[in-house]
Amino acid sequence: MQTLDVISINLWQMLVSLANLVLLFLAVKKFLYKPVKKMLDARQKAIDDRYDEAQEAKDQAISTKEMYEEKLSGAKAEADGIIQSAVTTAKARETEIIAKAKDEATIIVTQAKENAELEVKKAEDSIKQEIVSVSTLLTEKMLEREINANDHKQIIDSFIESIGDENDTNS
pLDDT digits (tens, 9 = 90+) for 107-160: 999 999 999 999 999 888 888 888 778 777 777 766 665 666 777 778 778 878
Per the structure, the count of domains in the chain is 1
Position 23 in a domain: no
Q: What is the DSSP string of 41-104?
A: HHHHHHHHHHHHHHHHHHHHHHHHHHHHHHHHHHHHHHHHHHHHHHHHHHHHHHHHHHHHHHHH
With beta carbons less than 8 A apart as the criterion, state whether 150 and 134 touch: no
Position 8 in a domain: no
In tens, the pLDDT along 7-51 reads: 677 788 889 999 999 999 998 888 888 888 899 999 999 999 999
Position 2 in a domain: no
Residue 1 has pLDDT above 50, yes or no: no
Position 100 in a domain: yes
- DSSP label at residue 92: H
With beta carbons less than 8 A apart as the criterion, state whether 135 and 157 touch: no
pTM value?
Answer: 0.39
Position 16 in a domain: no
pLDDT for 141 equals 67
- Range of the structural domain that residue 128 is part of: 32-170
Position 66 in a domain: yes
